[in-house]
Structure 1
């Protein structure tokens, strides 16, 4: 029986490779809107973050989301991410 390959993505906070299902995807849509994509299927440029508040804070401090999306990220997006991480734990 063939073993199914598990998609791997890199967390932009801690820079480690993890299974795609373990990470939260943040997406920049073709219209330029940045939002949290819990399905992992929304169209646009995606960046992945662990379900760990420390990784999120590290990514915010180093401006890794802004670098990944090549745009300024508003504070309310970061607040939504913080809420999502605190609800998940």
Structure 2
């Protein structure tokens, strides 16, 4: 009997749904308060996960979920980068 590897699940801050970590995008706030999109999932700092869908990103932007989670103002470029990541994934 092969042991199945446990898939790490993360909750989307916008939709509240649980998804495998690989299907999520992590947005991270460093100690210095800098916000960035963390595609590796390895950057240090406070992280929040959002689903790889335009809808989830739109909800996160509208309700300012990421700002609440990370306790910092999210620059517009971050949302634009998230959208680009989603669109790039859809082309694969």
What TM-score results when the alignment is normalised by the length of structure 1?
Answer: 0.92
Residue 40 of structure 1 is matched in structure 2 by 41
> Residues of 1 paired with 2:75 and 2:26: CA distance?
17
Give the 5 Å matches for 1:6-85: 6-85=7-86
User: Where do 5+ consecutive residues of structure 2 fail to align?
Assistant: none
State the Cα distance separating 1:4 from its structure 2 match: 2.2
User: Where do 5+ consecutive residues of structure 1 fail to align?
Assistant: none
| C-alpha RMSD of matched pairs (Å) | 1.1
Q: How many residues align?
A: 89
Give 4+ residue runs of structure 1 displaced > 6 Å after superposition. Answer: none
> Residues of 1 paired with 2:3 and 2:40: CA distance?
26
